[in-house]
Structure 1
Amino acid sequence: MAGSERRGPGRAARRATAWAVSESEPESEPEPRCPGAATPAGSPPTAGPAGRPRRRRRTPGEAAARRQEREALEKRQRREAAAAWRLLRPERCLRLMEVCADPGLLKDLGSDAWVKVLSSLDCKYSFEPQAIPCSITWRRNMPNALSTPDGPVVKTEEEKEVLVLVEPEDFLKRLFSLTQSFVNAPSASQPDLNQVLPLAGLEGSSTKTYSLAVVGLDAYRRNQEQGRQQALSPGKQSPSSQPGPELSMTEEEILEALVVLQLWGNIEVLFLDTWQEFGQHVSVLTKAIAKRPYKRQLESQELPFCAAGAWASGVRVEKDGTGLWQVWKRQIQQFNRVSPATAAAIAEAYPSPSLLLQAYEECSTEDEKRLLLSDIPVKSDVSGKDRRVGPDLSRRIYLFMVSTDPDLVLDLST
């Protein structure tokens, strides 16, 4: 009993001391919660490591909504990319082109022929004054958006190609002036190409690619030569009938001037005989310009060297093995100077590579292996005469099938 009384006052004294300390000392900071502890409702998020506030966890509904937004954005981007790719297809890209021709091209009587060829194209064309007289430029009208309330927005892009038609007489005079300029000038100086095509005063001429077209140059020179001979005949010579010095240019001098235009000015000159050929050239050039974005898109993708068509798409091989023979035949056709008929003849004789290897193993000598395929007949649909594979191709296929040297040259003619 006495022991219990001694313990009681001591415990009470310690409790009083604790209360005294609690009342005299300021309140301490709350202990940090564990990472997994729950935060009371209505309290702000506690600070994480380095004093950064902890992220609030998303509810399942918010995560699903964000995922749906992301999927909708990706779907819209794929749809826009597919629509843009459809516009670049060869069968549709020509409809986006517009050929802009200078009205001066209609002055000649034979211009109806090339306008008729131009009207047969599946594209727009217009006649409006150009910066260079008698020239043709191209515009591409690309839709800017898939759909708008007021209709599709069209974005017009100027192409860099410019085709200039030059009369034969004017062309010879300009070419003669060019030859005189770089003959009389020092060899290190650049010839003045503005004498052939005045581009000094044109804005943005450095970003353009120019080409010249001359229609009927040979006929003009023949007519002028005949007129010169008639003028030199006795009793018919007159000062007004004397030809200009440009007609004295030889073929070599003209070719030298064309080389100067190509090297110094990157200007190509095309000589045509009729207006029909001029129209065909404009048609081919329009189609090539229209397909440029499509080809550029193909080159940016993987394996741009693959050609379009069935060869690029490959042969479909079914689970039952259908199509393996076509794959084997095309592999043989990859050899140099091997026609489809020759590859088909070898594939028919040995329908698989394993059968060909088995035939090589059955041969007794090395020469017999090399000449195993040489006597296989090949049917030719062109000449109608049967021929054979030959020893050279037979040797190359044998070395390809059995050799382990990666640097071995199969074709000795290369």
Structure 2
Amino acid sequence: MATGAVMAGSGPCRRARSAWEVSESEPEAEPEPRSSGAAPQGSPPAAAAVRPKRRRAAGQAEALRRERRRRREREELEKRGAAAAAWRLLRPERCLRLLQVCVDPGFLEDPGSDIWIKALSALECKHSFEPQAIPRSITWRRNMPSVPSAPDDCMVKTEEEKEVLVLLEPADFLKRLYSLTQTFVDAPSGSQPDLNQVLPLASLEGSSTKSYSLAVVGLDAYRRNQERDGWRALSLGKQSPRSQPGPELFMTQQEILEAQVVLQLWGNIAVQLLDTWQEFGEHVSALTKAIARRPYKSQLEMQLSFCTAGASGRGLRVEKDGTGLWQVWKRQIQQFNRVSPATAAAIAEAYPSPRLLVQAYEECSTEDEKLLLLSNIPVKSDVSEKDHRVGPDLSRRVYLFMVSTNPDLILDLTV
């Protein structure tokens, strides 16, 4: 039994031993060498080959972005440098050096010319004696150098200023003023006076773009002397028809002031009555400084941003997405005289932006149609139940405000 059992169990052991012997007799297979570019276990070979190319492309794109960023920074620095150079030319301490005062040679005939020319020479600006379109007048010229893009590319641009100062003798000024008062003594009410009686500008080229002012030195002293000489001749009995004073000498101070107001309102001509030549020199110096600093002040005003939010000024806040612009547009319309919030809201609802209103004006075929474009817009009143319309007067004012290029235009005729 035991022997049989041993024999029975030796079969599997014999088979396993023989199988072991066979496996040891066979040569073992050598492992294949793994190449350096082989993909790691579990990853596709194609992705492993593409990954270095992507890294190179990403590096090139980043280099291009850096180069573009550096180029933009250089351009921004160049723009800032050019703007700073132009701004330095406009500074108050340098603006006088760019201005040239052009004086008519007729001033040299005046006995006090050396006094006021000495005051003019004290300024840092240049002055020259050149014949002017109006005798005994002063004009100003600005020599503005452009910002050079290269060291040898500096050019000077000469601009004529709009101010013209005319000096009149006291006797001549009174005669011109008296002639002006006679033109509107019998003239119908509201008619325009003839300003050529004081300053003949109709024959001058470009006179509409100029701003004229008059200066008179020693008017009060002249009137006193004439009155004293007249009384002296009358007391001595030596007064002849030729020596009799003209009617201009009998103008009162009130009449002279009224004539000055007419010149200011109708011709925008200011009159400076000065006692001495020293005062005339101070007036010319002050006017020269104001003209020289004007570009600096204009540039400074352009750099001031519009305040759209503020409690003290009751400003309206405008978001980056444009929210609040309609309220600003309505508030602008409400700034017209005699315009209620309801009327401004009605116009702003019909034309939600200034651009849409301008486009509506461009689509009109006649001038009357443009003037009456807003007149029939209904307005819902919050106070009374009765509705009304915008009306032709406000429609006309808004139209002139939107299209006119005249800064001195009076919109409200009832003021």
Q: TM-score, normalised by structure 1?
A: 0.58
> How many Å separate the matches in 2 of 1:76 and 1:266?
43
Q: Secondary structure at the match of 1:159?
A: strand
C-alpha contact (below 8 Å) 1:96/1:123 kept by paired residues:
yes
CA displacement, residues 196-230 of structure 1 (integer Å, 9 cap, x when unaligned): 01110112111111110000101111111111112
Q: CA deviation at 1:304?
A: 8.9
Deviations, residues 358-387 of structure 1 (Å, cap 9, x unaligned):
xxxxxxxxxxxxxxxxxxxxxxxxxxxxxx
Please give the alpha-carbon distance, in whole angstroms, between the structure 2 residues aligned to 1:264 and 1:131: 22
Larger Rg: 2
**Other-structure match for 2:349:** none
Distance 2:153 2:115 in 1: 37
Choose the corresponding residue for 1:146, options 136, 141, 148.
148
Matched, 1:183 2:179: no
Report the residue type matching 1:194 in the other structure: N
Cα-to-partner distance string for 1:297-349 (whole Å, 9 max, x where unaligned) = 222223699xxxxxxxxxxxxxxxxxxxxxxxxxxxxxxxxxxxxxxxxxxxx
Q: 2:287 aligns with which of 285, 288, 306?
A: 285
Q: Which residue of 2 aligns with 1:249?
A: 251
State how 1:1-400 maps to structure 2 within 5 Å. 59-146=61-148, 148=150, 150=152, 152-302=154-304
SS in 2 for 1:240: coil
Per-residue CA distance 1:162-200 (angstroms, 9 max, x = gap): 111011010000000000011122223100001101110
Cα separation, 2, equivalents of 1:282 and 1:147: 36
User: Paired residue for 1:31?
Assistant: none
Using structure 2 for the length normalisation, give the TM-score.
0.58
Cα distance, 1:156 vs structure 2:
1.1
What's the CA shift for 1:111? 0.5
Cα gap change, 1:277 to 1:151, in 2 (>3 Å):
farther
- For 1:122, the aligned partner's letter is E
Q: What amino acid is the match of 2:140? A: W
The amino acid that maps onto 1:78 is R
Matched to 1:66, the amino acid is: R
Q: 1:235: how far off? A: 2.6
Equivalent residue, structure 2, for 1:318: none
Q: Which runs of 5+ in 1 are unaligned?
A: 1-37, 42-56, 306-414
Asked if the contact 2:86–2:147 (Cα under 8 Å) also holds between the matched residues in 1, the reply is no
Superposed displacement of residue 283, structure 1: 0.5
Q: Does the 8 Å contact 2:85/2:147 carry over to 1?
A: no
Kindly provide the amino acid, as one letter, of the partner of residue 181 in structure 1. Answer: T
Residues 195 and 151 of structure 1: CA distance in aligned 2, closer, same or farther (over 3 Å): same
Q: State the 1:146 CA deviation.
A: 2.7
Contact 2:263 2:269 (8 Å CA) reproduced = yes
Tell me, yes or no, if the aligned pair for 2:162 and 2:209 is still in contact at 8 Å: yes
What is the rounded CA distance, in whole Å, between the counterparts of 1:78 and 1:145 in structure 2? 12
Offset at residue 84 of structure 1 (A)? 0.8
Residue in 1 that maps onto 2:13: none
Counterpart CA distance in 2 for 1:151 and 1:120 is 32
Secondary structure of the equivalent of 2:110? coil
The RMSD of aligned alpha carbons is 2.4
The C-alpha deviation readout for 1:62-93, integer Å capped at 9, x for no partner, is: 43433332222111100000111111111111
- Residue segments in structure 2 that go unaligned for 5+ positions in a row: 1-49, 54-58, 308-415
Distance in 2 (CA, whole Å) between partners of 1:295 and 1:138 is 18
Partner SS, residue 304 of structure 2? coil
Q: CA deviation at 1:149?
A: 5.2
CA contact (8 A) 1:175 1:257 kept: yes
Output the CA distance in 1 between the equivalents of 2:154 and 2:169. Answer: 42
For the residues of structure 1 that align with 2:261 and 2:218, how far apart are their CA atoms? 21
Change (3 A) 1:303 1:97: same
Q: 1:304 to 1:231 in 2, by over 3 A?
A: farther
User: Structure 2: how far apart are the matches of 1:249 and 1:117?
Assistant: 33
User: Across the two proteins, how many residue pairs are aligned to each other?
Assistant: 253
